C-alpha cells in the first residue's frame, strides 16, 4: 500500500528508535511529559483512523471512550486499586462495551446522522460525569498516584514514556497488519462501495461494528494512559466533544487511512499548540489556520507528500 | 427436463402508487443466457434488483436452487451463488485492479475477519483473483489502481469481481452500455465463454448482442412480462414488435 522503498523504511524505523532513545537519555521532565502526551494522543488518533480512514465513518464520540478509560482508572485508584493488570483491562472493557453499544445503534445510520448520534452519546457521558459529585463533578478530581505494573512503579517519567511508546508501537503494528489482512481489506471495500461490497458477499454492519468497537477499546486505553500521565481527571479534559474533534483533526493533519499518518498528525498538532501557545493565548486561532493551510495546500496529507518523495 | 436454477413467481414491486413489477414469473435454466429486454421504465433493473436482493418485493417469491431467497440479504445471496454487476460499473476504486476480484473471493469464502495474513498471502484468495482477472483479459492491468481504469475496463473488472465469487447465476445490468465497438465485441465474446459455466440473466438494450447471445428472451413492458421464449420466436412476435422492437430500437 505504501510506496516507500525498504531501505528508507529501515532508516525511518532507526530514526524513530534513535529519537526515543535520545529522549529517554537526555529529555528533562517537561519534555518527557510532552512526548508521553504525544504518544497517548497518537494512540487515540490511530484508533480514530481505524474508523475514519478504513471504515469511512466520522465519529464525533470518541471522547466518550477516552473519558471512560480515564474515569474508570481514576475511580478505581480512589478506592485503592492501582495494579495495571487489573485496572487497565477493566477500564478498557468498559470503553469497549460502550463502543459496542453506541456503535450498534449509530451504525444503523450513516453520514451526518452517524456524526450526530455519536456526538449525542458522548455528550451524555460528559454531562453524566459533570453530575457525579463523588468524582468531583465539573471540577474533576486528583488521582492518588499512578498505576503500578505487576507492582512496579511507572512514576519515573522515562519509564512512563517508554510504556506509552511500547503500547503505541504494538497497537500501530498490529493495526497495520490487520489493515492489509482480510478485515482491513473488507472494511475498505465496504467504504469504497457498500453496494458492490454486499454484492461481493461482504455485509458492512458487523465489520464496521467490529472496527468501531476495537477503535473504542484502543481509545479507552489511551484514556487510561492519559489519566496516569496527568493524575487529574475532569470532564472538560477527557470527555469534552472538543477532544473528539481534535482526534479527527490529528488524523486529517497527518493522513487518513494510513495509521502512521495519525501518529505524525498527533505529534504535529500538539507541537503546534506547544510552540504557538508560548507566544499567544490565542493559539487555537493559529492552529486553525495551520490546519486550513494544510488541507488546502497539501491535499493528500503530509504523509502522502513524504511518501511521494521517498518512493523508490 | 432440468429444473430451473432460478424461479420467480408473482413478483410484484410498488414504489408508492407506481407498479414497477407486476406479477413477474420467470425461470432461468442452469447454464443458459437469459436476456430481459423492454423499453426504458419497463422495470428491468428493478426486477434484477429484487433477484439480487438490493430490493425486496412487495409480493411473490424468488427461489434459487431450491431455496427461497426472497427475503435474504444481498451478501447471503452472493454466497449462495448469485453474482451481479451494476448498470454503472461499481468497483473498489482505491484497490489495485487485482485486489477487486480478491475481495470477491474473500466475500464468497466469508473470510472477512482475518487480522493477520495479508490477503495476497491467502493462497485460495489470490489464485482465484488472478484466475478471474485472467478470464476477463485484464491481467496486464493487475497492479494499476482500479479507479484509473477506463469505463470498458471497469465493466470487465466488475465482472471479474463477480466471477471470483464463483456465481452459478450472474446478473448483468446492461453489460454493453457505454462500450465502444471493439469493447462490445470483446464483451460479447466474453459472455459467450461465460455462459455454460454459469447461468446469466442479463438486462440489455443492444439487440444485436441479445439476439446473438441469448438462449431465452423475456420482454417486459410496464412491469409485466409480455412475452418470453426463444430469440426467434420473440423477434417475430407481433405484440413485442408493436410495443418495443418496432418503434423503439435504441440498440
A189 reaches B (C-beta below 8 A): yes
Pick from A49, A68, A45: nearest CA to A58: A49
Beta-bridged to residue B118, according to DSSP, are A181
CA B91 to chain centre: 15
In DSSP terms, which residues pair with A232 in a beta bridge?
Answer: A142
pLDDT at B111: 85
Which residues partner with B15 through β-bridges? B18
Burial of B142 (0-12, 13-18, 19+ CB in 10 A): middle
Q: What is the pLDDT of residue A1?
A: 42
pLDDT number for residue A312: 59
CB contact under 8 A, A199 and B52: yes
Q: Cβ distance A277 to A283 under 8 Å?
A: yes
DSSP helix/strand/coil, A201 = coil
For A212, the grid coordinates are 468501531
Of the candidates A29, A44, A2, A9, which has an alpha carbon nearest to the alpha carbon of residue A243?
A44
Whether the model pTM is above 0.90 = yes
List chain B domain ranges. 1-81+168-251, 92-166
pLDDT at A181: 96
**A185 lies within 8 A of chain B by CB:** yes
3-state secondary structure of A75: helix
User: Alpha carbon of B191 to those of B52, B175, B200: distances in Å?
Assistant: 19, 9, 8
Do B92 and A192 make contact, defined as CB atoms within 8 angstroms? yes
ipTM score for this prediction: 0.94
Instruction: Tell whether A173 lies on the interface with B, counting CB pairs under 8 A.
Output: no
| Per-residue model confidence (pLDDT) at position A283 | 85
Interface of A with B in 129-148 (CB under 8 A): none
Give pLDDT, residue A289: 87
Pick from A176, A182, A187 the residue to mutate for testing the B interface (most B CBs within 10 Å): A182
Cβ atoms within 10 Å of B249's Cβ, excluding its own: 9
Residue pLDDT, tens place only, B5-45: 999 999 999 999 899 999 999 999 999 999 999 998 899 99
What are the pLDDT digits (tens) for A122-174?
Answer: 999 999 999 988 899 999 999 999 999 999 999 999 999 999 999 999 999 99
Note the pLDDT tens digit of each residue in B121-142.
998 899 999 999 999 999 999 9
Judge whether A3 and A312 are in contact, CB under 8 Å. Answer: yes
Residues 6+ apart with CB under 8 A from A283: A272, A273, A276, A277
How high is the pLDDT of residue B250?
Answer: 46
Low-confidence stretches of chain B (pLDDT beneath 70): 1, 245-251
Q: Report which of A41, A36, A63 is spatially closest to residue A242, judged by C-alpha positions.
A: A63
Per-position DSSP letters for chain B, written without gaps between them: -PPPSEEEEEEEEEETTEEEEEEE--EE-TT-EEEEE-STTSSHHHHHHHHHTSS--SEEEEEETTEE-TT--HHHHHHHTEEE--SS----TTSBTTHHHHHHHHHHHT-----SSBGGG-HHHHHHHHHHHHHTT-GGGTTSBGGGS-HHHHHHHHHHHHHHT--SEEEEE-TTTT--HHHHHHHHHHHHHHBTTBEEEEE---HHHHHHH-SEEEEEETTEEEEEE-HHHHHT-HHHIIIIITT----
Of A207, A238, A195, A179, the residue nearest A41 (C-alpha)? A238
Domains of chain A: 6-310 (1.10.3470)
Q: What is the DSSP letter of A232?
A: E
B237, B218, B240: which is closest to B43 by C-alpha?
Answer: B218
What value, to the nearest 5°, has the Cα angle with vertex A165 and ends A164 and A170?
Answer: 100
CB pairs under 8 A between A and B: 111
Assigned CATH for B1-81+168-251: 3.40.50.300
CA distances from A116 to A60, A86, A119, A122, B178 (A): 7, 34, 5, 10, 40
Q: What parts of chain A have a pLDDT lower than 50? A: 1
- Provide, as residue numbers in chain A, all residues whose Cβ is less than 8 Å from the Cβ of B91: 192-193, 196
Which helix (H) or strand (E) segment is A152 a member of? strand A152-153
CA distance A272 to A289: 11
Nearest-CA residue of chain A relative to B125? A182
Would you call B118 and A192 a contact, using CB atoms and an 8 Å cutoff?
A: no
Answer whether A210's CB lies under 8 Å from A82's CB: no
**What pLDDT does residue A3 have?**
61
Q: Give the model's pLDDT for residue B233.
A: 92
Amino acid at each position: 500500500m505504501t510506496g516507500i522503498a525498504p531501505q528508507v523504511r529501515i532508516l525511518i524505523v532507526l530514526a524513530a528508535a534513535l529519537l526515543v532513545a535520545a529522549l529517554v537519555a537526555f529529555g528533562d521532565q517537561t519534555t518527557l511529559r510532552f512526548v508521553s502526551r504525544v504518544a497517548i494522543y497518537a494512540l487515540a488518533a490511530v484508533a480514530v483512523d481505524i474508523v475514519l480512514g478504513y471504515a469511512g465513518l466520522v465519529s464525533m464520540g470518541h471522547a466518550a471512550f477516552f473519558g471512560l478509560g480515564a474515569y474508570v482508572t481514576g475511580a478505581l485508584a480512589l478506592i485503592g486499586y492501582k495494579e495495571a493488570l487489573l485496572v487497565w483491562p477493566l477500564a478498557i472493557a468498559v470503553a469497549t462495551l460502550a463502543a459496542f453499544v453506541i456503535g450498534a445503534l449509530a451504525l444503523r445510520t450513516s453520514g451526518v446522522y452517524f456524526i450526530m448520534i455519536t456526538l449525542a452519546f458522548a455528550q451524555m457521558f460528559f454531562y453524566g460525569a459533570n453530575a457525579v459529585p463523588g468524582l468531583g463533578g465539573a471540577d474533576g478530581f486528583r488521582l492518588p498516584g499512578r498505576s503500578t505494573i505487576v507492582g512496579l512503579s511507572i512514576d519515573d517519567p522515562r519509564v512512563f514514556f517508554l510504556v506509552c511508546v511500547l503500547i503505541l508501537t504494538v497497537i500501530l503494528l498490529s493495526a497495520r497488519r490487520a489493515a492489509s489482512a482480510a478485515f482491513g481489506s473488507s472494511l475498505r471495500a465496504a467504504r469504497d462501495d457498500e453496494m458492490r461490497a454486499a454484492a461481493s458477499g461482504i455485509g458492512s454492519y458487523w465489520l464496521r461494528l467490529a472496527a468501531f468497537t476495537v477503535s473504542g477499546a484502543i481509545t479507552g486505553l489511551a484514556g487510561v494512559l492519559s489519566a496516569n500521565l496527568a493524575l487529574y481527571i475532569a470532564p472538560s479534559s477527557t470527555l469534552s466533544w472538543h477532544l473528539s474533534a481534535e482526534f479527527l483533526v490529528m488524523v486529517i493533519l497527518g493522513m487518513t487511512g494510513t495509521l502512521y499518518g495519525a501518529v505524525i498528525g498527533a505529534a504535529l498538532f500538539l507541537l503546534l499548540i506547544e510552540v504557538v501557545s508560548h507566544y499567544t493565548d490565542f493559539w487555537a486561532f493559529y492552529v486553525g489556520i495551520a490546519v486550513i493551510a494544510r488541507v488546502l495546500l497539501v491535499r493528500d496529507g503530509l504523509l502522502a507528500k513524504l511518501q511521494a518523495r521517498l518512493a523508490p | 427436463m432440468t429444473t430451473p436454477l432460478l424461479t420467480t413467481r408473482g413478483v410484484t414491486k410498488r414504489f408508492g402508487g407506481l407498479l414497477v413489477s407486476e406479477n413477474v414469473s420467470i425461470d432461468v435454466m442452469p447454464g443458459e443466457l437469459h436476456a430481459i429486454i423492454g423499453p426504458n421504465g419497463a422495470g428491468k433493473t428493478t426486477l434484477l434488483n429484487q433477484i439480487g436482493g438490493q430490493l425486496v418485493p412487495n409480493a411473490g417469491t424468488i427461489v434459487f436452487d431450491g431455496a427461497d431467497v426472497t427475503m435474504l440479504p444481498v451478501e447471503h445471496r452472493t454466497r449462495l451463488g448469485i453474482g451481479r454487476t451494476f448498470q454503472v460499473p461499481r468497483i473498489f476504486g482505491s484497490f489495485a485492479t487485482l485486489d477487486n476480484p480478491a475481495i470477491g473471493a474473500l466475500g464468497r469464502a466469508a473470510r472477512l475477519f482475518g487480522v493477520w495474513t495479508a490477503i495476497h498471502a491467502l493462497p485460495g484468495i489470490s489464485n482465484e483473483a488472478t484466475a478471474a482477472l485472467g478470464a476477463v483479459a485484464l491481467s496486464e492491468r493487475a497492479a494499476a489502481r482500479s479507479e484509473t481504469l477506463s469505463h470498458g475496463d471497469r465493466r470487465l473488472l466488475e465482472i471479474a469481481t463477480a466471477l471470483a465469487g464463483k456465481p452459478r447465476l450472474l446478473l448483468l445490468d446492461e453489460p454493453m452500455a457505454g462500450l465502444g465497438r471493439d469493447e462490445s465485441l470483446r464483451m460479447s465474446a466474453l459472455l459467450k465463454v461465460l455462459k455454460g459455466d454459469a447461468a446469466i440473466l442479463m438486462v440489455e438494450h443492444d439487440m444485436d448482442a441479445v439476439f446473438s447471445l441469448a438462449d431465452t428472451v423475456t420482454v417486459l413492458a410496464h412491469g409485466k412480462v409480455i412475452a418470453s421464449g426463444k430469440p426467434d420466436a420473440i423477434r417475430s412476435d407481433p405484440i413485442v414488435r408493436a410495443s418495443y422492437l418496432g418503434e423503439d430500437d435504441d440498440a
